[in-house]
Structure 1
C-alpha cells in the first residue's frame, strides 16, 4: 500500500478544470496506474481526497495498492520544472497501528441516508444537510469502522451546545456533474454533497480500522470521499 501527496498549482487553467469536476479528477487519478482495475473490482481500491487548506494550497492525497505515476498531473496541474509528488510506504504505517492508539484524523465524506417521501414509494438516497446530522452519520459508523471518536472533557464543553465529541464538520461542497451512463443510456447528472470532518479518535478494532483506512468509509469513493488520514494527536 502507498500514500501519495501532490500539491496542485491552482493558478493553472487545467488545474482549475480538474478541481471543478470530481469526475475529471477521478479520471486523472486513475490514469496514474498502468494496470488500474474497475472501481468495483474486489480488493483494495484507490482512494483520493482534496485538502483545500488555502486558496493557493490544495493538496491531493491518494491511497493505493500500486505505486502511482503522477507525471501527467505534474504537467497539467503542477509545477513541471520544480514540482513533483511524494509517495510513502503506507503498509509499514498500517502495521504499526495499535489498539488504543489515539490519533487526529481528517475525512472527507458523503453523509447520506435513505428516506421514503410517500408510502409505497421506493427509498431515495438523500444527503444530510445539517452539521448535527452529518456528525451523527459519522458517529453511527465509528464502532463498525474500528474506532471511537473521543469525547470532549466536560470542563471544555461550550454551553448550551455541549460539544460532546472532539469532532468538527466544515467545508460543505455541493457538486452537480455529468457522468457517462451505462452503454446506450447516455450521460447522467450526479448530485453530490461532501463535507470534511476533523477530530480525534481512538483505535478500538485494529482489523476493522485498517480496513477503513484502505477501503474507505461511506459512499462516493470514486469522487474524492472516504479517505481517512491520521496525524499524531496533540
Structure 2
C-alpha cells in the first residue's frame, strides 16, 4: 500500500496557472501530467490520482495524491512551489479507535425517487444539514465514525456554463472503526466528481 501526496503552491501570476484553475478539464489534464501518458482508459482510477484545490493562509494550494510516484518534472518550470511526501507511515498507524482530523471536498448528492415527478432519477445536490448528514453516512460506510463536522460550500465545478458538480468541503474529527476501509477510502477517494477535484480524503492523527 503506497501513496504519495504532492502539495503545489501555484504561481497565480502565470497565465497557464490561471487558465488551469478556471477550467476543470484543463486542471484535470494538468494533474494527470504527473503520471505516464500511456495508461489507456481509466488512467485516473488506475493510478489513484485525486486532487483538491483549497485556500490557505499562505494562499491557494493544490493537493494531489497518487498511488504511482508522481513525476514532478512533467509540470512546467516555475508552475509553483512543490513538495512531496509518502503516506505509507500515516496509513500504517491507523488502528481501530484511532482519532483523526479529516478534510474532504465532496459532491454530496442523491438520486431523486418516484415522488419527484418529472425529476425522477435525476441527481440533486445537497447543502447544509442534508449535506452533513450525507457525509456522516458516507464516512461510516468507509470506516469512520464522525464526532464533529462543519461544512462549507465551495465553488461549483462548471463546464460550458453547466454545473457538473456542486462541491462542499467537510472538516472535523472522527474515530477509526475499520482501518482497512479508511485506508481504501484515502487511496480511492469518496463520492462523485473525482476527475474534477472531489473525493480526496485527507486525515491527520489527533494529538493525545
TM-score of the two chains, using structure 2 as the length reference = 0.87
In structure 2, the partner of 1:91 is 88
1:53 to 51, 56, 61: 56
In structure 2, do the counterparts of structure 1 residues 72 and 40 end up closer, same or farther at CA, with 3 Å as the change threshold? closer
Which has the larger share of helix? 2
In structure 2, the partner of 1:144 is 141
In structure 1, the partner of 2:193 is 220
Look up the SS of the partner of 1:118 in the other structure: helix
In structure 2, do the counterparts of structure 1 residues 72 and 58 end up closer, same or farther at CA, with 3 Å as the change threshold? farther
Deviations 1:14-45 (A, max 9, x none): 21111112221111011111154533776562
In structure 1, the partner of 2:117 is 118
Look up the SS of the partner of 1:149 in the other structure: strand
In structure 2, do the counterparts of structure 1 residues 233 and 93 end up closer, same or farther at CA, with 3 Å as the change threshold? closer
Question: Contact 1:67–1:87 at 8 Å: present in 2 too?
Answer: no
In structure 2, the partner of 1:203 is 176
Provide structure 1 residue ranges, at least 5 long, that are not aligned to the other structure. Answer: 151-165, 179-187
- Distance apart, 1:50 and its partner CA: 1.2
Moved more, 209-218 or 15-24: 15-24
In structure 2, do the counterparts of structure 1 residues 174 and 41 end up closer, same or farther at CA, with 3 Å as the change threshold? closer
After superposition, the CA RMSD in angstroms is: 2.3
The structure 1 segments of at least 4 consecutive aligned residues displaced by more than 6 Å after TM superposition are none
Number of residue pairs the alignment of both structures matches: 202
